[in-house]
């Protein structure tokens, strides 16, 4: 399926020990379709090491990001989300994406970020089995499936689910651009 995403902009969080594939696969898939993806970390222009050693240089600092500049946000997994979920700028951004009903996509442990932003109550989700209890305790409705799409939320369990995760993101984006 070819979906023209020219002119659409997405935010993707990055910090040390991100899950390499869960950042790069969606980033490259969206860019392949014509979108622009901004990699925002705690610091701008800093090199962050992935869980498997792949480097990623941030484009911008999270504190400088504005939800109005983007059509959605991607929360990759790894150990990174456990640190970023404590950053008030990350949480307020995710809350603003939710308030505006823009795409919030989380894979694996990336679900920790929407949990801490308190936007998952009543939302059907999946994620790493390691955070299943956290998701349920946050009020989410757990499903053990490769991808769950619930309104503007997309979630997946692990790197093997990345094709389904990206198809889920593209379906939400297609619905949102029809409005």
First to last CA, the chain: 20
Residue from 71, 98, 109, 152 carrying the catalytic annotation: 109
Residue 136 near residue 118, CB atoms below 8 Å? no
The dihedral over CA atoms of 23, 33, 73, 20, expressed in degrees to the nearest 10, equals 0
- In this structure, how many other beta carbons lie within 10 angstroms of the beta carbon of residue 101? 13
Q: Are 104 and 119 in contact (CB under 8 A)?
A: yes
- Is 109 an active-site residue? yes
Residues that are catalytic: 109
């Amino acid at each position: 399926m070819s979906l023209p995403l020219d002119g659409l902009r997405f935010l993707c969080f990055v910090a040390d020990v991100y899950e390499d594939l869960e950042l790069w696969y969606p980033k490259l898939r969206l860019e392949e379709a014509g979108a622009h993806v901004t990699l925002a970390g705690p610091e701008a222009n800093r090199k962050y090491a992935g869980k498997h050693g792949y480097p990623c240089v941030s484009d911008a600092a999270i504190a400088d990001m504005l939800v109005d500049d983007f059509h959605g946000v991607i929360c990759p997994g790894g150990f990174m989300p456990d640190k970023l979920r404590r950053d008030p700028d990350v949480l307020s951004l995710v809350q603003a994406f939710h308030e505006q009903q823009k795409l919030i996509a989380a894979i694996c442990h990336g679900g920790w970020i929407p949990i801490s932003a308190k936007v998952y109550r009543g939302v059907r989700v999946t994620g790493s089995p390691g955070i299943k209890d956290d998701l349920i305790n946050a009020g989410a409705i757990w499903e053990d499936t490769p991808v769950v799409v619930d309104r503007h939320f997309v979630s997946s369990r692990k790197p093997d689910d990345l094709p389904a995760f990206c198809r889920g993101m593209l379906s939400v984006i297609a619905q949102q651009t029809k409005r």
